[in-house]
Structure 1
Amino acid sequence: MTDPGADTVEQRTCTTKSGWRFAVTAIALSVLVVAIIGLTVAATLMQFHMRATDSDTDRDAEVVATARRMVTDLTTLNQGGVDGSIKRILDETTGSFRDQFSHQADSFRQVVAKGGVDSTAQVTEAGLVDADDDHAQVLVASTSTVKNTDAPNGQQRLYRMKVSLQHVGATWLISDVEFVS
């Protein structure tokens, strides 16, 4: 004879086993879904970071190249082309630095012409100090050979400058130049 309670115990054991299997499967699927979402978020954030880094690298290279060119323009002069030099400097500057240079342009022209100044410059080093999308600072080392009435054979000069730049429209312009030692 069979025990009437045996079926109930067997059914409970099967139900308990199926319940555990279901619970374990549900937990495993939940963990898997959370892991997939986490990996997707991490991959997306890494992609945005890489794009931002590439953009910053491009911007930084442009800033340093601009500072190099502008320091060369500031320190390369000749008496015959002083008006072109003044125009170029005014075109490459902004803010109070531009205003100050603009007010002193006539005196600058006279000094270059009267002194027979001929200066050829070359940037030897340039390095980024700080930059964001609107402002930047670059340290620039430059050498120039300056010929004038006092030194007709030329005199070697070394310049170290901290150049501040401002992003205006699509162009980086000098907003300040500070000679540093």
Structure 2
Amino acid sequence: MNGMVSSGEGASGARRSAVDGDSVARASAPESKPVVKGIKGSGAGRASRLKTRWLGALAVAVVFGVAGLAFGGWLLFQQHQRNEAASQALAAARNYVVKLTNLDSDAVDARFGDILDGSTGEFRDSYGKSGQQLRQMVVDNQVHTRGSVVEAAVKSATANKVVVLMFVDESISNRNSPRSQIDHSRIKLTMVKLDGRWVARKVQLL
């Protein structure tokens, strides 16, 4: 009987030892972490968002770059127009002053016609009103004038309006003073573009 009890106790001890061993093995074994799904997907989404932002920033940069180039081109075009206007108006002003300062009593009508043709606005009106009186004075006194532009420069310029400053030397003779006298003048002309031509709107002695 004792032998049977001992055998039973031995079997029970063996079972407890096995159970305890399994428990120890489970306790000492590293826990397996649950697999987190979607990590790869989250990385791909983040990369996609970064790519979208980068493309958006690039698009904005391109737009601003194109706008900057367009604005720069417009400024260059405006400057080209001003330079071209200044050059053309300066040449026209020189020619016009030569007409103004070169009068001959023998050809006064043709000269007055040229002066009126090359003017507009304020100067044309005032010259037209005083023209007949001036013509008579030139004819009666046998006036001869010879003018030349010593120096000329553009003061300001837009595409359709240019202000020119000039230094002019003019020799004047008449019936009572046949010996020419030299007159030095400073003249300011406001030239405007009218029907494709540069004409004088204002002529001022300074």
Common topology (TM > 0.5): yes
Q: Deviations over 1:17-36 (max 9, x none)?
A: 32332222222222212111
Segment drifting more, 43-52 vs 149-158:
149-158
Q: Deviations over 1:127-177 (max 9, x none)?
A: 223333444322121112222234423111111111123332222222221
- Measured in 2, the distance between the counterparts of 1:66 and 1:42 equals 36
- Measured in 1, the distance between the counterparts of 2:97 and 2:138 equals 17
Relative to structure 1, the CA distance from residue 18 to residue 51 in structure 2 (aligned partners, 3 Å threshold; closer, same or farther) is same
Q: What does 1:38-117 correspond to in 2, within 5 Å?
A: 38-117=64-143
Tell me if the contact between 1:67 and 1:140 (Cα under 8 Å) persists in the aligned partners.
Answer: no
Partner of 1:179: 205
Partner AA of 2:63 in structure 1:
I
Q: Deviations over 1:56-83 (max 9, x none)?
A: 2111211221111111110111121211
Cα RMSD (Å): 2.2
Partner AA of 1:156 in structure 2:
I
- Measured in 2, the distance between the counterparts of 1:15 and 1:172 equals 73
- The DSSP-based 3-state class of the residue aligned with 2:175 is coil
Q: Is the aligned partner of 1:3 residue 2:32? A: yes
Partner of 1:118: 144
1:15 equivalent among 41, 50, 59: 41
Tell me if the contact between 2:152 and 2:166 (Cα under 8 Å) persists in the aligned partners.
Answer: yes
Residues paired across the two proteins, number: 177
Looking at CA atoms only, which structure, 1 or 2, has the larger radius of gyration?
2
- Structure 1 segments unaligned to the other structure (5+ residues): none
Of all paired residues, the percent bearing the same amino acid is 22
Partner AA of 1:88 in structure 2:
D
Partner AA of 2:48 in structure 1:
F
- Measured in 2, the distance between the counterparts of 1:4 and 1:99 equals 101
What's the TM-score, normalizing by structure 1?
A: 0.85
Tell me if the contact between 1:115 and 1:148 (Cα under 8 Å) persists in the aligned partners.
Answer: yes
Q: Is the aligned partner of 1:153 residue 2:179? A: yes
- Measured in 1, the distance between the counterparts of 2:194 and 2:180 equals 37
Stretches (4+) displaced over 6 A = none
- The DSSP-based 3-state class of the residue aligned with 2:119 is coil
Relative to structure 1, the CA distance from residue 41 to residue 96 in structure 2 (aligned partners, 3 Å threshold; closer, same or farther) is closer
- Structure 2 segments unaligned to the other structure (5+ residues): 1-29
Partner of 1:163: 189
What's the TM-score, normalizing by structure 2?
A: 0.76
